[in-house]
C-alpha cells in the first residue's frame, strides 16, 4: 500500500519536514491548502486576535480547505 504525508504549511517549515519524512518513508506528499489563504497578519502568533491564534484556541475550528484527495 502506498504511503502519503499530508501537510499544512504557511511559511515552509512544516513543508520541509514533510518532504524529508516522505523521502524517508518513500511516500508521496499532499499539500493541504486553505480555501481562504492566510495573510502575514493572519499568522502572527504573537497577536492574540490573529486568525491563527483564534483558530488554534477554538478546538472545533476546521478551516475550509481548497481540495480533497477523495
Ligand atoms: C497559536 C500558535 C502559537 C505559536 N507559538 C510559537 C512559539 O511559541 N514559537 C515559535 O517559534 N513559533 C510559534 N508559532 C509559529 C509556528 O508554529 C511556527 O512558525 C511554524 O514553524 C510555522 O510552520 P510553517 O512554516 O510550516 O508555516 C505559533 C503558531 C501558532 C498558530
Grid coordinates 500500500 are at which residue? 1
- Residue 69 within any structural domain of the chain: no
- Residue 26 within any structural domain of the chain: yes
Domain count within the chain: 2
Cα dist from 16 to 5, 6, 12, 13, 63, whole Å:
12, 12, 6, 5, 22
Domain containing 28: what range? 1-32
pLDDT along the chain (70 residues), means of 10: 95 98 98 97 97 97 91
Answer yes or no: do 16 and 42 share one domain.
no
Tell the residue nearest (CA) to atom 1 of ligand 1. Answer: 53
Rg of the chain in Å (alpha carbons): 14
Ligand 1 in reach of 13 Cβ (< 6 A): yes
Ligand 1 atom with least separation from CA of 12: 25
Q: 31 pairs with which residues across the strands?
A: 7
- Residue 70 within any structural domain of the chain: no
Say what the pLDDT of residue 4 is.
97
For residue 12, the CA-to-ligand 1 centroid distance in Å is 11
Cα-Cα end-to-end distance for the chain: 16
Answer yes or no: do 5 and 24 share one domain.
yes
Say what the pLDDT of residue 69 is.
84
Amino acid at each position: 500500500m502506498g504511503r502519503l504525508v499530508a501537510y499544512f504549511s504557511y511559511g515552509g517549515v512544516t513543508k520541509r519536514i514533510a518532504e524529508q519524512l516522505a523521502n524517508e518513508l518513500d511516500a508521496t506528499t499532499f499539500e493541504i491548502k486553505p480555501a481562504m489563504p492566510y495573510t502575514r497578519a493572519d499568522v502572527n502568533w504573537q497577536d492574540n486576535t490573529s486568525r491563527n491564534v483564534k483558530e488554534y484556541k477554538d478546538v472545533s475550528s476546521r478551516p475550509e480547505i481548497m481540495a480533497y484527495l477523495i
